[in-house]
Homo-oligomer: A and B are copies of this chain.
Amino acid sequence: MKEVHIRVARREDCPRILELIHELAVFEKAPDEVTVTLAEMEDCGFGDRAIWQSLVAEVDGKIEGIALHYDRYSTWKGRRLYLEDLIVTEKLRGSGIGKRLLDELMAYAKEQKYNGMVWQVLDWNQPAINFYKKYNAKFEDEWVNVSVEF
């Protein structure tokens, strides 16, 4: 394994982060669903009304994984750290990079006094489900995602 360096994402990382998002969309069988532009992504991460932040995993200076997150508000639990995407490039999966990213994000969330973290997983993605079980994660499958496009 080459050296892996985890750090906070910067604006100039956005093109590579978007490449990894496209790669994940192909894996999730929905490549045409990625319609966000690089400009909007940059604005939502580093503009006036920024929402998202991310950790990135560099391998020999190239970003090969991300843990992109933002705050959510649960009316039951309060402020929660939401993990929008945990991505490791396909050729490096199974090498421990995802675990490094998730461990560091959890350490950050605890340090920042979040009382918990939430995310979603596809019900057929058994490797990911098995991975999350190691964190004593709770799974709830009775919720349906609803969306309306304007």
- Determine whether the beta carbon of B123 is less than 8 Å from that of A143: yes
A1 contacts partner chain B, Cβ-Cβ < 8 Å: no
A6 contacts partner chain B, Cβ-Cβ < 8 Å:
no
Asked whether A150 is an interface residue with its Cβ less than 8 Å from the other chain, the reply is yes
Instruction: Please give the count of copies of this chain that the complex contains.
Output: 2
Contact partners of A149 in chain B: CB under 8 A = 115-116, 138
Alpha-carbon separation in the docked complex, A130 to B44 (Å): 33
Chain B residue numbers with a CB within 8 Å of A118 are: 145-148
Q: What is the interface size of chain A, counting residues whose CB is below 8 A from a CB of the partner? A: 62
Known contacts A116-B149, A121-B146, A144-B139; is A44 also within 8 Å of B73 by CB?
Answer: yes
B144, A138: Cβ atoms closer than 8 Å = no
| CB contact between A120 and one of B77, B79, B144 (< 8 Å): that residue | B144
Q: B-facing mask of A126-138, CB < 8 A → 1, else 0?
A: 0001001001111
Q: Which residues of B contact A141 (CB under 8 A)?
A: 144-145
- 29 example contacts (A-B, Cβ-Cβ < 8 A) are as follows A33-B77, A34-B75, A35-B76, A36-B74, A41-B78, A45-B73, A51-B71, A51-B73, A68-B75, A70-B73, A74-B84, A75-B84, A106-B148, A109-B150, A110-B150, A115-B149, A117-B148, A118-B147, A118-B148, A120-B145, A121-B144, A121-B146, A123-B142, A124-B142, A129-B144, A136-B148, A138-B147, A143-B143, A143-B145
